[in-house]
Amino acid sequence: MLRRGRASLAFSFFAQGAAFALLVTRIPAIQDRYGISDGLLPVFLAAVPILAGVGSVTTEQLVKRVRPSRLLRWSQPVVLLALLGVGAGGSGVMAELGLALAAFGLAVGALDASMNMLGVSLQRTYGRSIMLSFHAAYSLGGIVGASLAWAGAHWQLALWVSYLPVVAVLLPATLVGSRWYVDGDAGAVEEGAGAGAGGGAVVFRLLLPLCLVMTFAYIGDSTVSNWSAKYLKDVLGGSEQLATVPYNVYMVTTLVGRAIGDFGVRRFGAATVVRMGALVAAAGFAVVSAAPDAWVGMLGFTLLGLGLCVLVPQTFAAAGRLFPGASDAAIARLNIFNYVGFLVGSPLVGALGDTWSYRGAMLVPMGLVLVTLAYARSFAAQPDRYGGGHERPRTADVGRGSNGL
C-alpha cells in the first residue's frame, strides 16, 4: 500500500512538473496568440503566483475538513484542464486567457500544498528521507514538458495541439493513480483534525526561518529560469543557440541532485545537506558572475542546479518535523513563500541588471542563498522515535510526531 502511495504521488509530482513547464516555456506563443503587449504581459504572469498563494492559504483551511489526498485528486485535473484552456482560448480573447490562468493559479496553490503535505506524511511513515525523490519526479516532468514545448514550437503547432495529447494522457492517469494516495493520519482527519492533527499549532516565529529559506531558494531558481539565456547571450557572448542550454543543464543537474539527495540526507543529516547545497549554489552564482565566457558560465549554472535542488524539498520536510501535530498547516503557509520568491526574484535581478550590471545582479541571489547557512539549524533532525535500526538518529530526516506516525 505504501509503495503504491509513494509511486502514485511521485507521478503526481511528475505531471505537475510537465504541466508547469508546458505553460512557462510557451509564454511567447501565448503572448502572440492573445495579442498581449509587453507592458501587459507581467500582469498576467504575476497573477498566477499571486492566485497560487491564495490557493495555498485556502488549502490550509480546507484540510481541517478534507483530506489532502482529496484536494490533490481534484485540484490536479483543474490544473491540466486550465492548461488546455490557455491553449484553446479564442485568438485575441484575453478574458478567456485570464479565466484560464486564474483557474490554473488557484488550483496550483492547492496542488503544490497538498502534494507536499502527502510527501511529508509519507516520509514520516517511511521513517527515512524520501522527499527529494518526489521533487526529482517533478524535475523529470519539467524536462519532459520543456522538451514537448520545444517540439511544439519547432513544428509550429498550435498551442491546443501541443497541450491536448499531454492532458489526454496525464489527466486520466493521475485520476487512476489518486486511488492509492496515502494520507498521514486518517483517524485524525475524520475527526476534523486535518491541519491540526495530533494537536499543536503553527507558531510563525518558528516557521519564519524556513519561510526565508524557501523565498531565497526560489529567488535563485527564478533567476536561472528567467535570466540564464539572456545572461549567456548578452553578457557572456554566447550564441543564441547556446543560450538555450543553461536552463536545460540546470534542470538536468537538479534532477540528478534530487535523485541522489535522499541518500545524502540519510547518511549525513538534513542540516549538513542543506549547508552543502547552499555553499554549492553560492559558488555557482559566483562562477556565473565572474565567468569570462559562456562555457565557464555553463559550469556555474551546473553548480546552481546541484546546490539549489536540495533546499526546497528539505524545507518542506523540516516544516513537517518542526510542527508534527500541525504539519499540513505549516506546509500550506510555507508554500506561500514559494510564490513570494518567484515574484521577487525575476524583477529584482532585472532591475539590478538594468541600473547596475547583470554580473553584479548575480551576487544578490548568491548572498541570499548564503543566508541559508544561518538558518541551517532549523533543519536539524530531532532524535527519532521510529526505526528499523538501520538509520542513526542524528541522520534521520523526520521523526514521529504526536500523531503517532
pLDDT at residue 392 is higher than 80: no
337-391 pLDDT, tens per residue? 999 999 998 889 988 988 999 999 999 999 999 999 999 999 986 544 333 333 3
- Rounded Cα distance between 137 and 168, Å, is 20
Domain that holds residue 127: 1-180
- Same domain for 237 and 327, yes or no, is yes
- Same domain for 294 and 349, yes or no, is yes
- Same domain for 19 and 82, yes or no, is yes
- Same domain for 222 and 176, yes or no, is no
- Same domain for 136 and 217, yes or no, is no
Q: What is the pLDDT of residue 246?
A: 86
Tell me the three cell numbers of residue 308.
Answer: 539549489
- Same domain for 128 and 239, yes or no, is no
Q: What is the pLDDT of residue 385?
A: 35
Q: Is residue 192 part of a domain?
A: no
Q: Is residue 188 part of a domain?
A: no
The per-residue pLDDT of the chain, averaged, comes to 87
21-30, 286-295, 348-357, 392-401: which has the minimum mean pLDDT?
392-401
Task: Compare 325 and 14 and report the one with higher pLDDT.
Answer: 14
Number of domains in the chain: 2
- Rounded Cα distance between 340 and 343, Å, is 5
Confidence of residue 92 (pLDDT cuts 50, 70, 90): confident
219-256 pLDDT, tens per residue? 999 999 888 888 988 899 988 778 778 888 898 999 99
**Could you tell me the CATH number of the domain that includes residue 70?**
1.20.1250.20
Q: What is the pLDDT of residue 34?
A: 92
Q: Is residue 3 part of a domain?
A: yes
Cβ proximity of 90 and 96 under 8 Å:
yes
Tell me the three cell numbers of residue 99.
Answer: 479565466
- Same domain for 234 and 330, yes or no, is yes
pLDDT at residue 200 is higher than 70: no
Altogether, the residues listed in the chain come to a count of 405
171-187 pLDDT, tens per residue? 999 999 999 999 875 33
- Same domain for 28 and 176, yes or no, is yes
CB count within 10 Å of CB 343 equals: 21
- Same domain for 69 and 114, yes or no, is yes
Residue of 327, 309, 335, 338 whose CA lies nearest to 132: 309
205, 129, 385, 204 alpha-carbon torsion, rounded to 10°:
10
Q: Can you tell me the mean pLDDT for 137-161?
A: 90
Q: pTM of the predicted model, to two decimals?
A: 0.88
